[in-house]
Amino acid sequence: MRFWMTIILSSLFLAGTLGVITFLASHPLEMTFLSFGVSKGEEETKTCAVNIKLITIPIAGEYLIKGENVTVVTYEGTHKGRFSTNLRGAVLMVVQSLNSKATVKLLPKVKFPTPHVALIIIIGVVGGYVFRVLERK
């Protein structure tokens, strides 16, 4: 009976953890940058604004960048289009023309390796069972 209770509790814990990760992975980060200013004459078309924002991403891992003229700076380097990081901090840089609006989306790519999930379940079940057996003595 205790063995099956341990399996059930371990499975519930794993399902909850995977649910939280799935929730975070399904919601992309979306930021909007506005630029405004006054330029004189023909230089208006050549004038640009550079916006820099420090961000904290919810999950360290691989991300897809959607937006124009966007560069992401992480500990590993600078990236355009797609990046992968081991840390959660990043810097977002957007170059846009004056009096415009730019929207940037960071879409997380979270992969669930099945062998690792199975290994976590087995370790949780065995560890919980051993803990309960040793607790009795």
| 15 vs 53, higher pLDDT | 53
pLDDT for 9: 78
pLDDT for 113: 63
Q: pLDDT tens, 20-34?
A: 777 877 788 888 888
Which amino acid is residue 71, in one-letter code?
T
Q: What is the pTM of this model?
A: 0.60
CATH code of the domain containing 55: 2.60.40
pLDDT for 39: 62
pLDDT for 10: 74
The band of 45, judged by pLDDT with boundaries at 50, 70 and 90, is low
Overall domain count for the chain: 1
Q: pLDDT tens, 68-92?
A: 888 888 888 777 788 888 888 888 8
The whole-angstrom separation of Cα 90 and Cα 73 is 6
DSSP-derived letter for residue 42 is G
The whole-angstrom separation of Cα 63 and Cα 34 is 23
Q: Which of 52, 85, 45, 82 is nearest to 67 (CA)?
A: 82
pLDDT for 43: 57
Average pLDDT value for the chain:
78
Q: pLDDT tens, 92-124?
A: 888 888 778 888 888 888 766 667 767 777 777
User: Which residues form the domain of 42?
Assistant: 2-136
